[in-house]
Structure 1
C-alpha cells in the first residue's frame, strides 16, 4: 500500500514537538540568554547596559578567576586519568570473579555512586575531620601529628579528588565490565593456545579492544570533573573557600553572592567553550587512534 508521506511527516513532527519544545525551553533559550547577559553589566535577575567584551577581559585580570581556572585544571589532572585507570583495574579484577561473589563485589563498588553528595560529604567529614575524624584517631594511635586536610590548601584538592574517585568510579566500572564481557572468549582461547603471557594478552588484545570504552569513560569523566562544584563547596565550609575556587564555584560566587550576572555569565561561557573544545578534541583523538588501529 502506498503511504501518505505528508501524513507520516506530520505525525513525526507531532511526536518530536514535545521534546523540541522542552529542549528549547530548558537548554537553547537559557544558553542564548547566557551569551547575551555575558555582554552586559547586569545583575543576576534582569538586564543591564551593554559593555561589549569588558566582562571577558576583566576575567583574565581577576586573581580569583585565575585561581579557579588552575584549580579546575589541577582537579581534572588528579581525577580523570587516575580515576579511569582505577576503574579499569577494578573492572579487570571483578571480571575474573564468578556468580554471587562477582555481584556482591560489584555492588560494593557501585554503592557509593548512588549516594547523594551530601551523604558523601558527611561520610568523609566523619572520617577525615581534624577534631573527631576516625582517621585522626588512627594518627593518634600511630603517634602521627593530625592534619587538617580540608582546611589545608596543599591537601584540599588531592583529598577531594580521592573522594570524587571513590564516589564516581562505580559507573565507570560498569562501563568497563560491559566492554570486557563483549570481548569474545574465543580470542583469549586462541591467545592461550599461542602461549601468550598475561601481560602480552592484555597489551595486544584487551587494551586495544577496550579503547573505545576507555575513550568514552575519559570523555564522561572529563566533562563531569570540569564542572566540579558540589564537593568543593561542601568541603570548603569553615575553611578558605577563595583558595579552593573552581570555575563553577567562581560563577556561583559572582552570580549569587555578588549579584554580578554579567561577569558570572562571561565565566560560564568560558567554561562552556572549554567543555566543548575538550570534548571535540577528545572525540577527534579517539577517531584518529581507531583509524591507526
Structure 2
C-alpha cells in the first residue's frame, strides 16, 4: 500500500504537468500579437555610434571652420571679383571679364617670376627635409646632449624675418662677410645674377631647418624601441636598422614635412624683398613679389588680383599632387 501511493502521486503530477503543457499553447494563442522590431544591421549600429562620437568633435571644430570660411573664402571671392575688373587701389573702373587673365597668359614677367619661385622651392624643399632628418638623428642619438643640440638647431627658427635677413646680409657681405672669409675672395653674392636667389635660399634653409628637425625628432621618438631590440637580436646594425625600421616609420612624417615646406617655399616673399628687392635684373623676383609690385607700385589692383588667383590655383594643384605622391609612396 505504501508503495502504490507514490506511484499515484507521480502519475497525478505527471498528468498535471502534461495538462499544463497542453494549456500553455492555448494561453499564448489568445495573447495579442506584438509588433516585431527588427534588429538594426551592424553597419547601421556602427554608423549611429560613430555619429554620436563625432558630434562633439564637430562642435569643437565649428568656430575654426566658421573663421576659416570667413577669412579665407570671403577674401578669395572678393579677390576673384576684383580680378574681373580694371581697378586700382582707390577706384574701380568697370567690369572687364577675363581680360586680366588673357593678359596674364601672355605676360613674360609673370612666367619669369613663377620660374624663380619654382627654382627657390627646388633649392630649399629637399635640403630642408634632408638636413632636418640628419639633425633629428643626431639629437636622437646623443642622449646626453639632446637639450643642447635641440635648442641650438631650433633657435634660428624663432628669429623674426627682419633679424634673419640682417644676419644673412652680414654673412654675405663682399668685404667683411663670413662666407667670403671661408671661401676666399670678395664676391657680391646678393648682387650676382647667378648667386642672388641661391644665397637667399641658403639663408632660408639655415633659418627654418629647425622646424623640420623638431617634426622628424617627434617621429623618431614615436618608433617603439622593441623594434630596434628585435632587429639587433637578428644581427641588424647601423644602416640596416635605418633602412628596415627608421625610414619606413618616418615616411608619413617626411611626407608631411615635404608638403609643409613646399607650400612655404612657394609663398616666399619677405626674404627676397628685404635682401635683394627682386634683383639683380629681376632674377630673384618671385611671384608674390611681382604681385606686390603690380598692386602697390603700378597701382593695378585688378591685374594683381588675377596674378593672386592664378598663383593660388598653382599652389593648390602642386600641394594636392605632392600629397597624392606621398600617399602612394607610403
TM-score, normalising length: structure 1 = 0.87
SS in 1 for 2:274: helix
Give the equivalent residue in structure 1 for 2:228. Answer: 188
**Which residue in 2 is equivalent to 1:6?**
none
How many Å separate the matches in 2 of 1:165 and 1:62? 31
Query: What is residue 91 of structure 1 aligned with on the other side?
Result: 136
Aligned counterpart, 1:146: 186
1:133 aligned residue: 177
Residue 113 (structure 2) aligns with:
68
CA distance in 1, matches of 2:67, 2:93: 27
- C-alpha spacing 1:172/1:198, structure 2 compared with 1 (3 Å): same
Is the Cα–Cα contact under 8 Å of residues 84 and 95 in structure 2 kept in the other structure?
yes
**Counterpart Cα distance in 1 of 2:317 and 2:323:** 10
Q: For residue 249 of structure 1, what is the aligned residue in structure 2? A: 289
CA positional deviation for 1:241: 6.1
Q: What does 1:115-264 align with in structure 2 at a 5 Å threshold?
A: 115-138=159-182, 144-237=184-277, 239-240=279-280, 242-264=282-304
1:265 aligns with 2:305: yes
1: CA distance between counterparts of 2:223 and 2:60? 37
Where relative contact order (Cα < 8 A, 6+ residues apart) is larger, the structure is 1
Structure showing greater Rg = 2
Q: Distance in 1 between matches of 2:175 and 2:282?
A: 23
Deviation >6 Å, runs of 4+: 11-17
Give TM-score scaled by structure 2 length: 0.78
Q: Could you tell me which runs of 5 or more consecutive residues in structure 1 were left unpaired when the two chains were aligned.
A: 1-10
SS in 2 for 1:49: strand
Task: Work out whether residues 72 and 246 of structure 1, in 8 Å CA contact, stay in contact via their aligned partners in 2.
Answer: yes
Size of the alignment, in residue pairs? 275
Which of 98, 107, 114 is the matching residue for 1:53?
98
Stretch of structure 1 that moved more, 113-122 or 44-53: 44-53
The alpha carbon displacement at 1:89 in A equals 1.1
Which ranges of structure 2 fall in alignment gaps of 5 or more residues? 1-55
